[in-house]
Chains A and B, each alone.
Chain A
Amino acid sequence: MSKNYNVIGHSKPKIDGPEKVSGAAKYTGDLKFPNMLHGKILTSPHAHARILSIDTSEAEKLPGVKAVITHKDVPTLKYGLSPARWDENIFCSEKTRFVGDKVAAVACLDEETCYKALKLIKVEYEVLPAVLDFLTAMDEGQPLVHEEYARNINTEIHQEFGDVAKAFAEAHHVRTDTFIGQRTYQCPIEPHSAISMWDAGKLTIYSSTQSPHYFQHYIAREFGMDIGDVRVLKTFVGGGFGGKLEPTGLEFAGAVLAKITSRPVRMFYDRAEMFAHNRGRHAQQMEITTGVDKDGKILGAYANFKMDGGAYTSLGIASAYYAGALLPMTYEFDNFKFDMYRVYTNLPACGAQRGHGAPQPKYAFESHLDNVAKDLGIDPMDIRIRNARRPDTVTPNDFKINSCHMKECLERAREISGWDEKKKNKVPGRGIGVSTGSFVTGAGYPIYRTDLPHASAFIRVNEDGTAATLYTGSVDIGQGSDTVLCQMAAEAMGYRYEQMKIVAADTETTPLDFGAYASRQTYMSGTAVKLAGEEVKKQILEMASFMLSLPPEDLDCEDGIIFSKSRDDKSITFQEAARKHFVLRGPLMGKGVYTPPKLGGTFKGAAVGTSPAYSFGAQIGEVEIDAETGEISVLGIWDVHDCGKVINPRLLHGQVHGALFMGMGESVWEEVLFDDKGKIINAELANYKMLTAMDMPPIESEVIDSYEPTGPWGAKEVGEGSTNPTLGMFSNAIFDAMGVRVNSLPLTYEKVWRALKEKREQEAAEKA
């Protein structure tokens, strides 16, 4: 389990570090092509409006405008990310469904002309009553966002496993709490952009994307093209967090503009447009009921949720299923019921944000569990340890858990945070909270139905053996997958990391990989890379066997040296053998492919949440509250993770830091706010409060020595799991500090202040 490896397990410096620190790294918006035009999309100023007419003539007359397009100029095929509900058009034709819905686009000589041209497009609207409140969106008499979806229901889920009613009837204590989660936005620092160009009927798109493959698939589908005629490639990607998983409209509109003008077109969203496009975290209402025995053992749970989907489906069907599917992960119970309505509203569509459907339900469940613990007089840590999931178990919704160190994570977090001491000697105004999380290591099934493998890779060793290049369709969006996969390739080959190169995420030159989402790449892409490396190693050992006249079974290769296991005097370098291989047999290459096994149950929606492996983690946070203002200062956060074998410790901890940074923002500071007409009022970074370096507390991140039997070298996910506990952890720490529970996210200073005020008033009334 704790075998020492030459390459993996070490904090190798990021392969793209030098380019990124020197400013040389080119992101899509940094690229220029000869004769390139700039493009922008005109969006709806109304949340819900009928389009009466569009007049582009003035815009067309403006010098520098090369093309103006509307719904008349583009395919009318509806698209989306979830095949079950394709409900989006490149441009609206009859009506617009949110402030920011796409209406037209321009291509111009420069950016400034684009903005001016957009202002000259005259769109006549008939403003319609809008659905802005997801809690009443299903009510009788509400306007319909999509006429074909009655009561604005986008997705409806009713699942029951075991017998919840029986569990509650037999329970010592049954409690119900209701919580609200807010809409947040991924907010990558790099804005979306895409450059489209045509050459002899073939389309090439450079895009800031998490998945060139899905983009290629959906773009080819939209334009009725063969996959082979569409090339999508990414350059450097400035963060995604789920927001760059689906085509944004920039690709579709840009492709049409490029075709019409026969010139490359670079489309981009500015910050406000990114917010409007959104696809961030769904707002949701979460009612949770749990029945426990007298020791706090959970007997059954019922989750009754409603979700604000916004105007389109995006990846929201999966979000809706995930919200319930991942609830029975960190704690063991057999009876579970889940009801969910994802409804349409006239707000920007929501999709997948780091942790996907899980963080808010986790907030609700973990807050609720602390309430239950308080009812029973049990320490929040004890109730969690008592219910903690064990390895080699199956969840009520048929997810097979292999490695799982939930209990050890909790115990270790308890130890390093000084939990017991802090609980014993409470400092007024301070509080400490605990929460758990878990996440999939890659989704068990692709986003669209296909039997294609999920990941593949090949490795080409240079003719003289001095370098090797890994070709993979996986996408480094900052998390460091290029580095980790090169480490894995080198380890499997017996090669040196420092001699590795990588070509990634270009549908024309790299083999299929579904890309960066659902925390899949270290495991899934990594498995394919490991197989490719092993294939190289097998060939190089065969060549060495010939060169050294020793049987291949007697040979091994580590760190670029091929040696005999039985004789000290026999060795040869990888380089020498690789060169000989090229001379005698041609290019030295290895390939690998990964397809997950068949996973999950047979009930409706059984696929969502399936994964070959799951991470587990516990988080503890300590806060200090200013009782007069509600201001929350974070004193420290301790995260202990079970993510299997660690391939690159520093990158791993960086993932934990980033995931809990996002979770921290969502806990107290971040919220997309709308006016009463459905327009975002904080579509910028002064009032959408991402945290600064001055806000961040000391963070201690640790891992449990863990081995996932199905993963490459025992690895599993880390990138999203650490967002899941954070929201509940804050809720519980505030509860511990002040004895008040804020039942809606974000747990703002004002909400905490108000809760304290109400508590004081209630106490005064009780005294009187």
Chain B
Amino acid sequence: MSNVITDKDGVKRYLITLNVNGDEHTILVKGNTTLTNALRDQLDLTGTKRGCELGDCGSCTVLFDGRPINSCMKLAVEAEGHEIITIEGVAANGELDAIQQSMINHAAVQCGYCTPGMVLSAKALLTRNPHPTEPEVREAIAGNLCRCTGYVHIVEAVLAASRGVLAPDDGAHATAGGAK
């Protein structure tokens, strides 16, 4: 690693370039900075949440070269040279992704804290497997713990998004015109 800066206390910092949501950010991190903290503290991408910090809850999920990982289990210095997508990079030009819209329509969001990770896990699944079965959806989001929903509406929302039908089939949204 070439760009190393040592401060007056002898602590080394590394100048790295992270490719996040298609943007290149050059930042200075310590060797023990996690990707989660670099994204949140230095790039202000706070959609990547801290839930357990031990790789058990999935709140900090990002896509790492297209694959979901727990960013709390990845050092920022190890993320250089990889493509990282955070929740802020899912909607394109202000247009929500089908999964995001489907999550809203199905009331699959309650407190919302697991939601970014959930969306990214689902996004990775549908990219690789556009028409998953219900067990495949459940498996894909099994690393994202949700304390609010029992996963019922989340699974419905992901399946609906995979079918391109973003409104629930219970007719509940016949009168809804809200969130676009």
Residue ranges of A at the interface with B (Cβ–Cβ < 8 Å) = 6, 10-27, 29-30, 32, 63, 112, 186-191, 236-239, 241, 270-271, 477-480, 497-498, 648-651, 653-654, 657-658, 660-662, 664, 684-686, 690, 692-694, 696, 699
Once the chains bind, are B170 and A23 in contact (CB under 8 Å)? no
Once the chains bind, are A22 and B111 in contact (CB under 8 Å)? no
Closest to A236 in B: B112
B132 at the interface (CB under 8 A from A): no
Which residues from chain A contact B32 at a C-beta distance below 8 Å?
A: 112
Binary per-residue interface labels of chain B (26-65) against chain A in the complex, 1 for a CB within 8 Å, 0 otherwise: 0000001000000010001111111111101101000000
B86 to chain A, nearest CB (A): 7
Tell which of A16, A23, A657, A660 has the most Cβ of chain B within 10 Å. Answer: A23
A149 to chain B, nearest CB (A): 34
B165 at the interface (CB under 8 A from A): no
B150 at the interface (CB under 8 A from A): yes
Once the chains bind, are B152 and A650 in contact (CB under 8 Å)? no
Once the chains bind, are A651 and B107 in contact (CB under 8 Å)? yes
Which residues from chain B contact A26 at a C-beta distance below 8 Å?
A: 46
Q: Give Cα A649–Cα B107 distance, bound, in whole angstroms.
A: 10
Tell which of B111, B139, B155, B168 has the most Cβ of chain A within 10 Å. Answer: B111
Closest to B101 in A: A21
B13 at the interface (CB under 8 A from A): no
B160 at the interface (CB under 8 A from A): no
Q: Which of B48, B96, B116 contacts A18 (CB 8 A)?
A: B96
Once the chains bind, are A17 and B48 in contact (CB under 8 Å)? no
Q: Give Cα A331–Cα B56 distance, bound, in whole angstroms.
A: 41
B1 at the interface (CB under 8 A from A): no
Which residues from chain B contact A236 at a C-beta distance below 8 Å?
A: 111-112
- Also in contact, A239 and B56, with CB within 8 A (given A189-B51, A189-B113, A693-B155): no
Once the chains bind, are B178 and A23 in contact (CB under 8 Å)? no
Q: Which of B52, B105, B107, B150 contacts A661 (CB 8 A)?
A: B150
- 29 inter-chain pairs at a CB distance below 8 angstroms, sorted by A residue, are A11-B168, A11-B172, A12-B176, A13-B104, A16-B109, A21-B109, A21-B115, A22-B47, A22-B100, A23-B45, A23-B87, A23-B90, A25-B47, A25-B112, A188-B147, A189-B51, A190-B113, A238-B111, A478-B112, A479-B148, A654-B152, A684-B52, A685-B51, A685-B57, A686-B56, A693-B138, A693-B139, A693-B146, A694-B139
Closest to A692 in B: B142
Which residues from chain A contact B40 at a C-beta distance below 8 Å?
A: 30
Once the chains bind, are B178 and A498 in contact (CB under 8 Å)? yes
Q: Which of B9, B88, B109, B139 contacts A20 (CB 8 A)?
A: B109
Closest to B157 in A: A21
Which residues from chain B contact A15 at a C-beta distance below 8 Å?
A: 178-179
Once the chains bind, are A191 and B51 in contact (CB under 8 Å)? yes
Q: Give Cα A660–Cα B48 distance, bound, in whole angstroms.
A: 28
Closest to B89 in A: A23
- Also in contact, A241 and B147, with CB within 8 A (given A10-B172, A10-B176): yes
Which residues of B71-126 have CB atoms within 8 Å of chain A's CB atoms?
A: 86-88, 90-91, 96, 100-101, 103-107, 109-116, 119
- Also in contact, A189 and B57, with CB within 8 A (given A20-B115, A23-B45, A25-B112): yes
A655 to chain B, nearest CB (A): 8
B6 at the interface (CB under 8 A from A): no
B69 at the interface (CB under 8 A from A): no
B14 at the interface (CB under 8 A from A): no
- Also in contact, A650 and B107, with CB within 8 A (given A189-B57, A684-B56): yes
Q: Which of A6, A14, A690 contacts B109 (CB 8 A)?
A: A14
Once the chains bind, are B104 and A477 in contact (CB under 8 Å)? no
Binary per-residue interface labels of chain B (133-150) against chain A in the complex, 1 for a CB within 8 Å, 0 otherwise: 001011101111111111
A239 to chain B, nearest CB (A): 4
Once the chains bind, are A23 and B48 in contact (CB under 8 Å)? yes
A645 to chain B, nearest CB (A): 15
- Also in contact, A22 and B88, with CB within 8 A (given A13-B179, A649-B170): yes
Q: Give Cα A30–Cα B87 distance, bound, in whole angstroms.
A: 14
Closest to A9 in B: B175
A354 to chain B, nearest CB (A): 10
Nearest 7 pairs of A and B residues by beta carbon: A23-B47, A478-B111, A238-B113, A11-B172, A20-B112, A23-B87, A661-B150
B173 at the interface (CB under 8 A from A): yes
Q: How many residues of B contact A (CB 8 A)?
A: 68
Q: Give Cα A10–Cα B170 distance, bound, in whole angstroms.
A: 11
Q: Give Cα A649–Cα B178 distance, bound, in whole angstroms.
A: 16
- Also in contact, A693 and B141, with CB within 8 A (given A20-B112, A30-B46, A497-B178): yes
B114 to chain A, nearest CB (A): 5
Which residues from chain B contact A10 at a C-beta distance below 8 Å?
A: 172, 174-176
Once the chains bind, are A654 and B172 in contact (CB under 8 Å)? no
Q: Which of A190, A479, A654 contacts B153 (CB 8 A)?
A: A654
Residue ranges of B at the interface with A (Cβ–Cβ < 8 Å) = 9, 32, 40, 44-54, 56-57, 59, 86-88, 90-91, 96, 100-101, 103-107, 109-116, 119, 135, 137-139, 141-155, 168, 170, 172-179
B70 to chain A, nearest CB (A): 12
Once the chains bind, are B47 and A24 in contact (CB under 8 Å)? yes
Q: Give Cα A188–Cα B148 distance, bound, in whole angstroms.
A: 8
Tell which of A27, A188, A236, A693 has the most Cβ of chain B within 10 Å. Answer: A693
Once the chains bind, are A661 and B103 in contact (CB under 8 Å)? no
Which residues from chain B contact A12 at a C-beta distance below 8 Å?
A: 175-176, 178
**Beyond A188-B111, A271-B52, 16 additional pairs, beta carbon < 8 A:** A12-B178, A13-B176, A14-B107, A21-B101, A23-B45, A23-B46, A29-B50, A30-B46, A112-B32, A191-B51, A271-B53, A657-B151, A664-B150, A684-B52, A685-B51, A693-B151
Once the chains bind, are B147 and A189 in contact (CB under 8 Å)? yes
A486 to chain B, nearest CB (A): 10
A545 to chain B, nearest CB (A): 28
Q: Which of A22, A237, A653, A690 contacts B147 (CB 8 A)?
A: A690
Closest to B121 in A: A693
Once the chains bind, are A498 and B177 in contact (CB under 8 Å)? yes
Q: Which of A23, A29, A189, A190 contacts B86 (CB 8 A)?
A: A23
Closest to A478 in B: B111
Once the chains bind, are A271 and B51 in contact (CB under 8 Å)? yes
B172 to chain A, nearest CB (A): 3
Which residues from chain A contact B152 at a C-beta distance below 8 Å?
A: 653-654, 657, 696, 699
Which residues from chain B contact A27 at a C-beta distance below 8 Å?
A: 46, 49, 113
Which residues from chain A contact B178 at a C-beta distance below 8 Å?
A: 12-13, 15, 497-498
Q: Give Cα A237–Cα B111 distance, bound, in whole angstroms.
A: 6
Once the chains bind, are A654 and B110 in contact (CB under 8 Å)? yes
A505 to chain B, nearest CB (A): 14
Once the chains bind, are B52 and A21 in contact (CB under 8 Å)? no
Once the chains bind, are B145 and A690 in contact (CB under 8 Å)? yes
Once the chains bind, are A14 and B54 in contact (CB under 8 Å)? no
Closest to A664 in B: B150
Once the chains bind, are A239 and B100 in contact (CB under 8 Å)? no
Once the chains bind, are B91 and A22 in contact (CB under 8 Å)? yes
Closest to A10 in B: B175
Q: Which of B111, B155, B168, B176 contacts A189 (CB 8 A)?
A: B111
Which residues from chain A contact B155 at a C-beta distance below 8 Å?
A: 693
Closest to A6 in B: B175
Closest to A31 in B: B46
Once the chains bind, are B110 and A658 in contact (CB under 8 Å)? yes
Q: Give Cα A646–Cα B147 distance, bound, in whole angstroms.
A: 23
Once the chains bind, are B138 and A694 in contact (CB under 8 Å)? yes
A163 to chain B, nearest CB (A): 43
Once the chains bind, are B111 and A190 in contact (CB under 8 Å)? yes
Closest to B134 in A: A698
- Also in contact, A21 and B104, with CB within 8 A (given A684-B52, A685-B57, A685-B145): yes
A347 to chain B, nearest CB (A): 22
Q: Which of A24, A186, A190, A480 contacts B107 (CB 8 A)?
A: A480
Once the chains bind, are B96 and A657 in contact (CB under 8 Å)? no
Q: Give Cα A191–Cα B53 distance, bound, in whole angstroms.
A: 11
Q: Give Cα A18–Cα B105 distance, bound, in whole angstroms.
A: 10
Closest to A16 in B: B112
A724 to chain B, nearest CB (A): 16
Q: Give Cα A289–Cα B141 distance, bound, in whole angstroms.
A: 44
Which residues from chain B contact A19 at a C-beta distance below 8 Å?
A: 112
